[in-house]
Amino acid sequence: MKYLELEGINQIAGDLLRIEETVKGLNIRLEAYSLKKTRKERKDSKSSKYLSIASMVAAALNMTFFEYEIDLAQKDMKVVPEVEAKSLLTSKMFTLGITKDYSEMVQWVDRVFEGTKTATGKDRKILRLNKPIGPFERSLWSECLVFYGREMKRIILFVTLYQKNTHSPNL
């Protein structure tokens, strides 16, 4: 698995930085990965391909949050329709007070989803992580959406972590 720098994703990342600056304790990550195994990964494993979507997502999360050892099973994720994922993300982000205009938040979430559609292809699936593991356990609230494009062999992670008191010893 390799980290990818995609132009459309990088443009959205600029918006993410501006949003993070407005809300203390908010951490947003949007990262794209190729599902092709590296030479070292192929050498270390028996298979040249990932055995399940859960193993792909776990590998991507372990690259994103390298200080944690994340292990997932298929039951820890749920395929969600785009409308549901957009609605959930919009309402969670809007409650933080990033903007006072709900339609502005809807437009921003739409841009994120359009960027991921371009990067993953038309056959993409949207998965939502159900299990609070690793960095998600320490957050006040979190959301992890995975955009999986089989045709283009890519996975995009959209992770939001909100820790209201970032200097608390309990976090």
Please state which CATH class domain 2-161 belongs to. alpha beta
For 16-72, what is each residue's pLDDT tens digit? 777 777 777 888 888 888 877 777 776 777 665 666 788 888 888 888 887 878 888
pLDDT score recorded for residue 168: 41
For 131-152, what is each residue's pLDDT tens digit? 777 677 777 777 889 999 888 8
Question: Quick one: which of 17, 147, 149 has its CA closest to 86?
Answer: 147
Give the whole-angstrom CA distance, residue 127 versus residue 51. Answer: 17
Give the whole-angstrom CA distance, residue 111 versus residue 116. Answer: 9
Give the whole-angstrom CA distance, residue 98 versus residue 131. Answer: 26
Q: Is the sign of the CA dihedral 75, 79, 83, 85 positive or negative?
A: positive
Give the whole-angstrom CA distance, residue 143 versus residue 73. Answer: 17
Q: If DSSP states are collapsed to H, E and C, what string results for the chain?
A: CEEECCHHHHHHHHHHHHHHHHCCCEEEEEEEEECCCCHHHHHHCCCCCCCCHHHHHHHHHHHHCCCCCCCCCHHHEEECCHHHHHHHHHHHHHCCCCCCCHHHHHHHHHHHHHHHHHHHCCCCEEEEECCCCHHHCCCCEEEEEEEEECCCCEEEEEEEEECCCCCCCCC
- Decide which of 71 and 84 is more confident: 84
pLDDT score recorded for residue 79: 92
In the chain, domain spans: 2-161
pTM for the whole structure:
0.80
